[in-house]
Structures are given as structure tokens and as C-alpha cells.
């Protein structure tokens, strides 16, 4: 029996503030009627990124230096959700890296296991540490 998994990673950014991303511009309506209007201000907060690496693991759940250099999986579709609503889709680059630019919030990163690039694979052991080198994908139930 072939098992299929949906890999999930939840990212929480709690830095305060709200923002809307991927806007081509921001605008404000300015009305001038007989006197100056000095109230048109623009505030911005920093956008952050989440993401990292999709790779073919040797089974230990940790990215070795060799795997980081030679085992990244290209063209894997990676989906970003917020409150179970799709927000963005990206694909891993030539070396297996992906990233999303986000504002503050709680996000879920998903990789659908039915992709051709992942045929015959299952997820490796998740969350074995160190946090910056281990797999975070947990099979969806």
C-alpha cells in the first residue's frame, strides 16, 4: 500500500502590527478644500520571510552538509496558508530552497505529497533537532 502524506509546518510570527503583502502600491485619498491637508501619512512595518529547504534525506531527519549541497529537490510546490486559507504558492529553486515574504501572523506551510517530484517518497522523521537543520513536516491526519 502506497502511503501519501501532506507535510505541515506551522510558523508563528508575533512581532505586533498588521500588514498587507504583495501590493504594487499603497494609496491614500487627499482632499484639499480651502486649506492645507497635512494629514496624509504612510506607516510601514518590516516584512519577514519564512522558508528553508526541501531535500532527500538519508532517514535521520537532519540535513547534513552533503544533503544541503547535493540533495535539494527542485520544483516542489510549497503552499502557504493563514487560518486554513491559501495565501501563496512558490516552488523550490534549483537547490531545494523556498521562501515566502510574510507579515506578522500564524502560518502553515504545506507540501502536497502527490507531486511527481515526490513520487515514492514519504516524510522523514520530524523535529529531531537542531531546529535549523531538522525536518518540520508532520503527516496530516
- Residues 88-115 have pLDDT tens digits of 999 999 999 999 999 889 999 999 999 9
- Which of residues 79 and 41 earns the better pLDDT score? 79
Number of domains in the chain: 1
CA proximity to 128, closest of 64, 62, 34, 32: 62
CA distance 42 to 46: 13
- Residues 3-34 have pLDDT tens digits of 443 444 444 433 333 334 456 788 888 889 99
- Residues 60-82 have pLDDT tens digits of 999 999 999 999 999 999 999 99
Residue 1 included in any domain: no
Indicate which CATH number applies to the domain containing 135. Answer: 2.60.40.10
Residue 138 has pLDDT above 60, yes or no: yes
Domain that holds residue 91: 6-16+25-139
Residue 1 has pLDDT above 60, yes or no: no
Distances (CA, A) of 135 to 23, 25, 114: 32, 36, 18
Q: What is the pLDDT of residue 47?
A: 82
Contact indicator for 30, 37 with CB cutoff of 8 Å: yes
Amino acid at each position: 500500500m502506497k502511503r501519501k502524506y501532506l507535510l505541515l509546518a506551522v510558523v508563528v510570527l508575533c512581532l505586533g502590527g498588521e500588514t498587507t503583502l504583495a501590493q504594487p502600491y499603497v494609496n491614500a485619498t487627499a482632499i484639499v478644500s480651502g486649506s492645507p491637508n497635512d494629514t496624509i501619512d504612510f506607516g510601514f512595518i518590516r516584512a519577514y520571510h519564512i522558508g528553508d529547504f526541501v531535500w532527500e534525506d538519508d532517514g535521520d531527519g537532519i540535513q547534513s552538509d552533503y544533503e544541503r549541497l547535493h540533495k535539494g529537490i527542485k520544483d516542489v510546490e510549497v503552499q502557504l496558508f493563514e487560518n486554513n486559507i491559501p495565501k501563496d504558492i512558490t516552488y523550490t529553486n534549483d537547490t531545494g530552497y523556498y521562501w515566502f515574504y510574510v507579515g506578522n501572523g500564524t502560518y502553515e506551510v504545506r507540501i502536497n505529497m502527490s507531486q511527481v517530484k515526490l513520487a515514492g517518497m514519504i516524510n522523514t522523521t520530524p523535529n529531531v533537532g537542531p531546529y535549523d537543520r531538522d525536518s518540520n513536516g508532520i503527516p496530516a491526519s
